[in-house]
Chains A and B, each alone.
Chain A
Amino acid sequence: MALNLAGSNEDENSASGSVTLKGRFTIDLGGAIPAYDVVPCIAYNASVNADRGKAVMALICDPMLPLRADKIMPIRSLETPMLLKPHDWGVIDWASEGRRCPVVVVDKPNGDRVMPSLDAKIRPIHEDTVARLLIRPGGEFLEILANNNLTHRAIRPDNIFYSAADQSRMVLGDCVSAPPAIAQPTVFETIESGMALPAGRGDGSSLNDLYSLGVTILTLLIGHVPMAGLTDEQVIEEKLIHGSYNALVGRERLSLTMMEVLRGLLHDDPKERWTVSDLMYWSNGRRQNPKSQAISRKASRPFVFDGVEYHTTRELANGFANNWDAAVTPIKDGSLNVWLRRGFSDEELIESVNVAMTDSSAVDRSDDWIVSRVCIALDPQAPIRYRELRATVEGLGALIGSYLNDENMRDLFSKVLREQLPAFWQRNQRRLTEAEEKFVNDYERARSNVDRIGLGLGIERVAYDLNPNLPCRSPIFENDYVVEVAGMLPALEYIAVSTGELKELVDRNGAAFLASKMARQVTGDLRDLDNKVDPHVSLIAAVKILATIQDRVSKHDFVDLSGVIASMLEPSIKRFHSRSIRKRARDGLKKATRNGRLSRLVDAVNDPRDVAADTNAFQQAVAVYSRTVMEDQRLEYEKTHRDYFAREMGAQMSSTVSGFITCVATVLIVIVMMFFS
């Protein structure tokens, strides 16, 4: 994370001045408002240029994390007072980080945070107040979200504000400035989502939001976050052993009314968990029978693994995942199988574990492969786990997006796809949502790309394909935030203006980013970009790709960028042998630079007629030069032996002259002797 929330206090950010976002919003760079910071963003005062009275704030986002940029427009259009609505987003210069950062402009609450922080203890809020300010409007809001196929995924007490100073209304905080659920503590997430790495939780569904709402309600009712002081692993273990409701509520005293809603929202079985309709029923005063927590079937005797007794398959799978290297022994030595047979007598479960341990293709598989599949078979609801990689099937793509520069995670992700674990996970599900099915199909398609080494392919391509919001991770844009193809050229122009040079135009990451966004237009040039033999071909291909972006997407002139690229293309001019063609190309570059059109730069240095004519003419020139060298050698030889050649030629000449004289003399003699003697 590039931004440090601890540093976002008013003293340190006392820099004055303001910055305008898209001409519509003014962000006050000296107006930090730490009270409204939302992990992982920091908040600044802002205003709407067209309506100065409207209360908005700017959330400066972590540039290393993808925004939910594609969700901003749909969420903005929702008719609800229960959310600090996002208005727009953009990228601004952020001097304190020495880079450009994404910023989201959202509504600014008029009241305080409901809970200052998750570590804080507040006075418990009366259940009527909670029901009136949070449960009912929250239910309505989640219903609207669900109807629009959207999720919030950041419902927790420190992201809820009073929308007015008199605390008459609550409003949910921002939900688009970071990947879904990345800042959610494990306790606020379902067991399955909590098991996954924060970056690998995925968008989820309204059921995830309802669970988070349930934990938030409980927190406000008791005045502190439940299970505080436990580690994430302990929270999951407690939830697995006792069920979420029992683990979270514990010995806290709640009214029957609240117990009912919490039992419904915190149910661990998604099928049994309350839906938004159930919650609205409850809000309307229609009471329902409290749902009993589903109790996982326990084995008649525990399975001892690594000194710990496990009674259910879910617990054991979690134990295996937490002690990965040791897990393979009980799987391979048959003790797991024996325990399953004696403890459960569930032929379906035994069969699925056996299938997990064997491979029909008879390939020698790794221990990791076996452990991962056995974990899936033992706990099909859990996320896909492969050593340190843990992600829900929806969050697997998001995970690699966040860990694209982590070699270990890249390797693990590649193995997960290569070993078709998402497909195996799918086979173990009793019920699959449309979204989950789509994700599994996406991973199957991605599998064909993940091991390919060409530019525009490989794991980078997979990451961009699976994460439409992922900013380009190219080191070229390490100080910028480029999430759309249209932003690429302005970002390069910015670098050109600020540094005056570019080391590279399109690298492996950039190629994958572009291939993911506009494959059809750039595939041919990407092949040339991959040319390792001729650096000119590669460079010109890079400029052609940028020219394509300019012509099709950006449609602006980039004079400074053209200037820098022209200087990069200078060596490519030298591939022409003819000085006159070089001069023409140089003049063309200068002209194209003034225009700011990249396609003209390409035309100037890559006219196919010039290239062909130059090649042919150069070959002829080499031949001509060789002939002159031969002539020169012959001349040198003749010079060295000039006396000899002079004698030879003199003799020949004298012979010719004497022959001529003899002819003339003979004729004269014959005439004289015939007619005058």
Chain B
Amino acid sequence: MSEEEPAGGNARGRVIIAWVVAPMVVFAFFPTILFLVIGMAPFIVAFIVDKRPGKVTARAIGYLNLAGCLPYAIKLWTGQNTITGVLSLVGEPSALMIMYSSAAVGWMLNFIMTPIMTAYLAVQHEAKARSIGNRQEELIKEWGADVKGQATVQPHEAPEQAPTEVVPDEEAQEVSDLDDEAENG
């Protein structure tokens, strides 16, 4: 019960925001909201598409998309802050191109970073493996094979348990999904 109360409180707060505050904001800043909905359409799409916890891909796109929209938003606020003003702004092909291009840069970053991180991890894993091997070798040299103790029987049992230590709980499911995908080809 005590755990459900805050959850219930949050849900109620969200309901209030969704049905009271949000309509009021939309009503008060309708031109700006309209402008952002049109200008940040790539982010909205990415947000919907991105199933990753934390929506990191969508965030990468969204940040740059926002940077692209910001000059036009300032222009809207300092100029004709109406629906007409919004339509005239989005009617400029260069404005839309800049806003959407900045979102594209976010996509580009996402694509570039994966192979970079793959290469980085390969080097890091190699260094780690060497370091672990050296440490084990030193231990065996000093203490003999007995130092392995019960540890020698674990490698075959451990991989199923390791993800809980490696990735957060919410990611574990995804990892196992990935494993399933790999097994199913």
Residues of A within 8 A of B (CB): 577-580, 618, 621-622, 624-626, 628-655, 657-659, 661-662, 665-666, 669-670, 673
Contacts and interface: CB of A to CB of B under 8 A. Distances in A.
16 contacts: A578-B142, A621-B147, A622-B149, A622-B151, A625-B139, A625-B147, A625-B149, A633-B155, A635-B128, A636-B159, A642-B125, A646-B115, A648-B171, A658-B64, A662-B64, A669-B67
Given A638-B166, A646-B114, 11 more contacts: A578-B143, A635-B129, A639-B125, A642-B121, A649-B120, A651-B52, A651-B56, A652-B56, A654-B56, A658-B59, A661-B64
B143 A633 contact: no
Nearest to B177: A644
B159 A637 contact: yes
A153 B112 CA distance: 113
Interface string B57-89: 101110110110011001100100000000000
A15 B49 CA distance: 111
Contacts of A654: 56-57, 60, 106, 109-110, 112-113
B56 A655 contact: yes
B132 interface: yes
A638 B125 contact: yes
B146 A658 contact: no
B7 to A, nearest CB: 28
A633 B149 CA distance: 16
A638 B167 CA distance: 10
B28 interface: no
Nearest to A645: B121
Contacts of B149: 622, 625-626
A577 B149 CA distance: 12
A335 B18 CA distance: 122
The winner among A631, A636, A654, A662 for most chain B CB atoms within 10 A is A654
A365 to B, nearest CB: 57
Contact of B146 (A577, A637, A645): A577
Contacts of A636: 155, 159
A669 B171 CA distance: 37
A578 B139 CA distance: 10
Q: Which 3 A-B pairs have the closest CB atoms?
A: A650-B113, A654-B109, A650-B114
B135 interface: yes
Contact of A635 (B125, B140, B154, B163): B125
Contact of B155 (A629, A653, A655): A629
Contact of B63 (A618, A631, A649, A661): A661
Contact of B60 (A628, A641, A645, A658): A658
A637 B122 CA distance: 13
Contacts of A661: 63-64, 67
A651 B57 contact: yes
B22 interface: no
A665 B101 CA distance: 14
Contacts of B122: 642
Contacts of B132: 628, 631-632, 635
Nearest to B129: A635
Interface string B39-57: 0000000000000100011
Is chain A's binding surface mostly helix, strand, loop or mixed?
helix
B123 to A, nearest CB: 11
A649 B57 contact: no
B59 to A, nearest CB: 5
B15 to A, nearest CB: 30
B141 A632 contact: no
Nearest to B148: A625
A223 B155 CA distance: 98
Contacts of A626: 149-151
Given A634-B166, A635-B129, A643-B118, A577 B63 contact: no
B162 interface: yes
B173 interface: no
Contacts of B165: 630, 634
B143 A618 contact: yes
A342 B47 CA distance: 128
A651 B166 contact: no
Contact of A665 (B70, B75, B171): B70
A631 B139 CA distance: 15
A628 B136 contact: yes
Contacts of B60: 651, 654-655, 657-659
Nearest to A631: B132
Contacts of B140: 625
Nearest to B106: A658
Contacts of A652: 56
Contacts of A633: 154-155, 158-159, 162
Contacts of A637: 159, 162-163, 166
Given A633-B155, A658-B109, A622 B67 contact: no
B178 interface: yes
B20 interface: no
A618 B148 CA distance: 11
A255 B114 CA distance: 135
A211 to B, nearest CB: 72
A536 B118 CA distance: 55
B97 interface: no
A624 to B, nearest CB: 6
Contacts of B109: 654, 657-658
Contact of B151 (A625, A639, A651): A625
Contact of B128 (A631, A641, A662): A631
Interface string B161-185: 0110110000100010011000000
Contacts of A629: 136, 148, 151-152, 154-155
Interface in B3-20: none
Contact of A579 (B63, B114, B141, B154): B141
B67 A662 contact: yes
A650 B117 contact: yes
A464 to B, nearest CB: 43
A644 B144 CA distance: 37
B67 A666 contact: yes
A637 B171 CA distance: 15
B70 A625 contact: no
B64 A621 contact: no
Given A638-B166, A654-B113, A646 B59 contact: no
Nearest to B133: A632
A649 B74 contact: no
Contact of B114 (A631, A647, A665): A647
Nearest to B108: A654
A578 to B, nearest CB: 6
A632 B156 CA distance: 12
B1 interface: no
A578 B147 CA distance: 10
A574 to B, nearest CB: 9
Contacts of B152: 629
Given A654-B109, A655-B60, A658-B109, A641 B178 contact: yes
Contacts of A670: 70, 74
Contact of A646 (B106, B121, B144): B121
A489 B118 CA distance: 73
Contacts of A655: 56-57, 59-60, 63
Nearest to A670: B74
A621 B70 contact: no
B143 A577 contact: yes
A652 B54 CA distance: 9
Contacts of A577: 143-144, 146-147
Given A631-B132, A638-B125, A662-B66, A644 B57 contact: no
B162 A634 contact: yes
Contacts of B171: 648
